[in-house]
Structures are given as C-alpha cells and as structure tokens.
Amino acid sequence: MPHGNVIRGARVGSAPVRPDERHHPAPRQDVTYWCRNNHRTSIRIAADAAAPPQWDCPRCGLPAGQDAQNPPGRTRAEPFKSHLAYVKERRTAEEGEALLAEALAALRRRRGES
Ligand SMILES: [Zn+2]
C-alpha cells in the first residue's frame, strides 16, 4: 500500500473542555429590580461592581428599579414630561455613568492598567 501515512481525523473520544474548567469563577451578587408592572428581575453581576440604578424589564420593557415599593415611572413613550422629570432622568443617568466609571476604574486598577 503506497500511502501509509493517511491523515487521520480528530481523535475519537477526546473529551471536550468544559467551560467551567476554563474560567475562574468570580464572586457574584444578585441584584433584583422591580418594574411598574410588578415584574421581578434578577441580574447577576460581579460582587464588587456597582449595580446600575435601573434595569430595563425584560418582560415589558419598562425601566425597573431596586425599590419594589417605588418602581421608576415610565421614561419612554410618554407624551409629556415636565422639566423636573427631565432633570431627574438626566441626573439618574449621570449617577449611573459615574457608578459605571468608578467600577471600570477599579477593575482597571486591579488588572494593573493605568
Ligand atoms: Zn415589567
């Protein structure tokens, strides 16, 4: 037989690498949000990350907050908004940005960047 070195396929029976063996588990925290329609949503984020002040409800799309008794009002598809409503909305967004920037900065410090 002239062709003795036949290229063989992948080894049969080689076990696939399991995802949970490739990643080191990081500490997590569960953050729960409630929307105005009383939908409860839990997200899982890094334990040392700041939770976003609001989270869009995956069921109805309304913004959900962490206070079950006082969910955020509709901030979308609302025909009229007072100046105060706009200010509140902007401030919340800025606070969110600040929290996010803080968390990212902490993350970079831990990784040794900057
Ligand atoms: Zn909802």
Could you report the per-residue pLDDT of 21-80, keeping only the tens digit for each? Answer: 566 778 999 999 999 999 999 999 999 999 999 999 999 999 999 999 999 985 555 566
Is 38 within 8 Å of 15 (Cβ atoms)?
A: no
Instruction: Using the mean position of ligand 1's atoms as its centre, give its distance from the Cα of residue 57 in Å.
Output: 5
Supply angle C-alpha 31, 35, 36, rounded to 5: 155
CA of 9 to the centre of ligand 1 (A): 51
CA of 60 to the centre of ligand 1 (A): 4
**pLDDT of the residue at 32:** 97
Of all helices (H) and strands (E), which one includes residue 31? strand 28-34
Q: Given pLDDT bands bounded at 50, 70 and 90, which one contains residue 85?
A: confident
Tokens found for residue 21: 């063996």
